[in-house]
């Protein structure tokens, strides 16, 4: 449906994996900054977006990349917290990410959040590569900072090499158990059929040139057509996060995946109750190579085209939801676009019944993933909402007819201070977990024990 395709947009690359497996460190190495060191407990609390231009990529990839082979402008990386479901990254009709990097600690192998990420990659059909991270922790490793992995391998003892091989084949086996045929990336002929595994170290940078090369190759070869968009069309994006910003009030960190957004544009944003219609007061862009999540200095820009991370300041954004659509109205009517946003939200709407549990999640995407998991487990839902657990939720849970349904399942949300005493006094059980399937299992176990 995109006609005047004269420019290719930046492919969106999601970086996901288990907690502490090195997602943020990998991006730090790529952007040459140290976002990870500035974080509380080095845990990523929020999703961020970083734009890496082609010349930075080709600079890092060195001899592996000839920039003249590529006409994509670069890559837009989205960092996800390990405890956060990747399903937040949704876009009209599917996944926000065009490709993904699944980071796996080469010593730890697959962990619960790795499994969860793989599950979502499979469901959304997102092509991905595996970054087998922390190769430098192999006993006896001889680090080769920033070098391609073959060079680095050549510098290792037989013993170190065979230990690493053993770990790598373990991961390849785990991928195969998950239903993916995989191999070390240099043995992969067809990246659409086989998953490439790239051994690397975010700490020393060895193998990172290889990863960038594989990612550029994947995007260029398989996604060039999808990257050809009408760059001047009305902008479309997804809210990553709603944040209060001094001097601006509530703002939305947004990934723009289509068209262009201009300052002064009227936009429709998915809200907790109904779509929000508002006018953009400022488009705030993190500096190049900077991370929207930690960036303090924003540049005010007149317009921004896909794909990019941008903070939108506009009135009435308090009720905007993470994971919700953002649409520029431009030459259509407001009503038309409101209907579009409503239709998109309706796709995500969770089926509720008269009986069931209360579900709270941090974003629309994770709420949807929770609803799917509960449907598979045949657990009915009475009410499902985005947001922290409030007194109202406890009151609703208490109205459940069956005891086993007097429960609240919270994914990645907090119990609000003013709800603490309500919970103590109510006959309602609260479950919280940062892995969706574990949350469902915790609840199922509770029900089983109750029925005994
Ligand atoms: P979450 O955001 O909490 O999910 O974690 P993450 O996956 O972003 O991991 P992060 O980059 O914060 O790294 C976790 C820890 O592993 C930090 O202490 C890093 O210094 C360390 N680390 C990451 N990559 C490497 C690596 O290649 N080698 C070594 N030795 N340590 C690494
Ligand atoms: Mg992180």
Residue 278 labeled ligand binder: no
Q: How is 63-74 classified by DSSP, letter by letter?
A: GG--GGG--S-E
Q: Which of 16, 18, 20 most suits a substitution to test ligand 1, by most atoms within 8 Å of the C-beta?
A: 20
What pLDDT sits at residue 1? Answer: 35
Ligand 1 centroid – CA 43 distance (Å) = 9
Question: What does the pLDDT look like over 197-213, one tens digit per residue?
Answer: 999 999 999 999 999 99
Pocket test for ligand 1, best of 39, 42, 435 (most atoms within 8 A of CB): 42
ipTM reported for the complex surpasses 0.85? yes
* Nearest Cα to Cα of residue 30 among 290, 236, 255, 259: 290
What is the reported pLDDT for 350?
A: 76
Give the list of residues 6+ apart from residue 316 with CB closer than 8 angstroms, or none: 276, 278
Q: Is 17 annotated as a binding residue?
A: yes
* pLDDT score recorded for residue 111: 93
Q: Report CA(353)–ligand 2 centroid distance (Å).
A: 37
The Cα 80–Cα 63 span in angstroms is: 30
Single out the residue of 256, 242, 363 nearest to residue 313, CA to CA: 242
Cα–ligand 1 centroid distance for 347 (angstroms)? 36
What is the CA(423)–ligand 2 centre distance, in A?
A: 32
Mean pLDDT (the chain, rounded): 87
pLDDT grade for 289, boundaries at 50, 70 and 90: low
User: Which position has the higher pLDDT, 278 or 345?
Assistant: 278
Contact partners, residue 220, CB within 8 Å, separation at least 6: 69, 70, 71, 72
Write the residue with the smallest CA distance to atom 3 of ligand 1.
Answer: 43
Would you place residue 3 in the very low, low, confident or very high pLDDT band (cuts 50, 70, 90)? very low
- Tell me the average pLDDT across 324-331: 94
The two three-digit tokens of residue 115, written as one number? 């499994």
Distance in Å, CA 28 to ligand 2 centroid: 10
Does the annotation place 135 within a ligand binding site?
yes
Q: In this predicted model, what pLDDT tens digit does every residue of 164-179 receive, in sequence order?
A: 999 999 999 999 999 9
Residue 251 counted as an annotated binding residue: no
| pLDDT score recorded for residue 429 | 97
pLDDT of residue 5: 41
The pLDDT of residue 2 is above 90: no
Strands 195-199 and 182-184: parallel
> Residue ranges of the alpha helices (H) in 377-433?
391-398, 420-425
Closest ligand 1 atom to 135 CA: 27
Q: For residue 43, which ligand has an atom nearest its CA?
A: 1
Q: Name the phi and psi angles at 227, rounded to 5.
A: -80, -10
Is 334 part of any known ligand binding site?
no
Q: Which of 86-90, 266-270, 273-277 bottoms out in mean pLDDT, i.e. has the lowest?
A: 86-90
47 pLDDT tier (thresholds 50, 70, 90): low
- Residue 352 annotated as lining a ligand binding site: no
Task: Provide the pLDDT for residue 452.
Answer: 81
- Closest approach atom of ligand 1 to CA 204: 27
Least confident among 5-14, 31-40, 118-127, 426-435: 31-40
CA distance 18 to 143: 24
Task: Indicate the helix (H) or strand (E) that contains 214.
Answer: helix 208-227
Give the binding-site residues of ligand 1, using a 6 Å CB cut-off: 17, 19-25, 36, 42-44, 81-82, 133-134, 136-137, 201-203
What percent of the chain has pLDDT above 70? 90
- Mutate-to-test residue for ligand 1 from 26, 100, 202, highest number of ligand atoms within 8 A of CB: 202
**Cβ distance 151 to 144 under 8 Å?**
yes
pLDDT at 365: 77
Q: Which residue has the higher pLDDT, 371 or 46?
A: 371
> For position 191, what pLDDT does the model report?
84
By percentage, how much of the chain surpasses pLDDT 90? Answer: 55
Residues, Cβ < 5 Å to ion ligand 2? 23-24, 44
User: Does the pLDDT at position 9 exceed 80?
Assistant: yes
Distance, in Å, from the CA atom of 58 to the CA atom of 330, rounded to the nearest integer, reads 37
Question: Per the annotation, does 19 bind a ligand?
Answer: yes
Which of helix, strand or coil describes residue 7? strand
* Listed ranges 38-42, 152-156, 240-244, 292-296; the one with the highest mean pLDDT: 152-156
The residue whose CA is least distant from atom 21 of ligand 1 is 22
- Alpha carbon of 382 to ligand 2 centroid (Å): 34
Tokens of 368: 């949807």
Least confident span in 11-20, 160-169, 227-236, 248-257: 227-236
Give the residue, by CA position, lying nearest to ligand 1 atom 2: 44
Q: Is 79 within any annotated ligand binding site? A: yes
Q: For residue 113, how far is its CA from the centre of ligand 1 (angstroms)?
A: 15
Across residues 358-376, what is the average pLDDT? 87
């Amino acid at each position: 449906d995109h006609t005047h395709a004269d420019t290719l947009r930046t492919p969106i690359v999601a970086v996901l994996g288990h907690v502490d497996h090195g997602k943020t460190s990998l991006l730090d190495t790529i952007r040459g900054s140290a976002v990870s060191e500035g974080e509380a407990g080095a845990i990523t609390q929020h999703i961020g977006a970083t734009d890496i231009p082609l010349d930075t990529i080709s600079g890092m990839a060195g001899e592996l990349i000839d920039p003249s082979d590529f006409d994509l402008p670069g890559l837009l990386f989205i960092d996800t917290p390990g405890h956060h479901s990747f399903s937040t990254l949704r876009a009209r009709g599917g996944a926000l990410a065009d490709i993904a990097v699944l980071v796996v600690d080469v010593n730890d192998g697959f962990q619960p959040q790795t499994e969860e990420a793989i599950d979502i990659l499979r469901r959304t059909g997102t092509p991905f590569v595996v970054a087998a991270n922390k190769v430098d922790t192999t006993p006896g490793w001889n680090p080769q900072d920033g070098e391609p992995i073959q060079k680095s391998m050549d510098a290792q003892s037989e013993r170190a090499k065979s230990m690493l091989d053993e770990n790598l084949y373990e991961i390849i086996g785990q991928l195969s158990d998950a239903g993916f045929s995989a191999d070390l990336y240099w043995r992969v002929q067809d990246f659409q059929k086989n998953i490439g595994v790239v051994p690397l170290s975010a700490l020393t940078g060895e193998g990172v040139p290889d990863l960038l090369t594989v990612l550029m190759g994947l995007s260029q070869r398989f996604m060039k057509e999808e990257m050809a968009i009408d760059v001047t069309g009305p902008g479309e994006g997804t809210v990553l996060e709603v944040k209060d910003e001094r001097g601006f009030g509530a703002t939305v960190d947004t990934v723009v995946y289509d068209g262009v957004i201009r300052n002064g544009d009227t936009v429709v944003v998915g809200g907790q109750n109904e779509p929000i219609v508002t006018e953009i007061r400022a488009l705030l862009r993190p500096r190049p190579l900077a991370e929207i999540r930690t960036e303090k200095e924003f540049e005010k820009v007149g317009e921004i085209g896909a794909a990019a991370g941008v903070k939108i300041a506009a009135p009435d954004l308090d009720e905007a939801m993470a994971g919700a659509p953002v649409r520029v109205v431009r030459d259509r009517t407001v009503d038309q676009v409101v209907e579009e946003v409503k239709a998109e939200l309706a796709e995500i709407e969770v089926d509720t019944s008269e009986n069931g549990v209360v579900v709270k999640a941090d974003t629309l995407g994770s709420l949807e993933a929770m609803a799917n998991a509960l449907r598979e487990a045949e657990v009915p839902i009475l009410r499902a909402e985005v947001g922290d657990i409030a007194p109202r939720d406890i009151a609703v849970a208490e109205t459940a007819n069956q005891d086993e349904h007097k429960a609240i399942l919270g994914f990645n949300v907090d119990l609000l201070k003013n709800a603490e005493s309500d919970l103590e006094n109510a006959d309602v059980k609260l479950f919280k977990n940062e892995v969706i399937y574990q949350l469902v299992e915790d609840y199922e176990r509770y029900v089983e024990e109750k029925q005994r």
